[in-house]
Amino acid sequence: MQTIRVKKHLDSETLVLPEIRSLIGKDVEITVVEYDTSEATKPLNGNFAETFGKYPDFDEAAFWALRGGH
Tell me the residue length of the chain.
70
- Residue 66 has a pLDDT of 85
Q: What is the model's pLDDT at position 47?
A: 67
In this predicted structure, what is the pLDDT of residue 25? 95
Cα separation values, 63 from 29, 44, 67, Å:
35, 12, 6
Enter the pTM of the model: 0.45
Instruction: Answer whether residue 9 shows pLDDT above 80.
Output: yes
Q: Is the pLDDT score of 12 beyond 70?
A: yes
- Tens of pLDDT along 19-61? 999 999 999 999 988 877 676 666 666 666 666 677 777 787 8
Please give the Cα distance from 23 to 21 (Å, whole number): 5
User: What are the residue ranges spanned by the domains of the chain?
Assistant: 18-66
Interacting residues of 23 by C-beta distance below 8 A, sequence separation 6+: 2, 4
Quote the distance between the C-alpha of residue 41 and its chain's center: 9
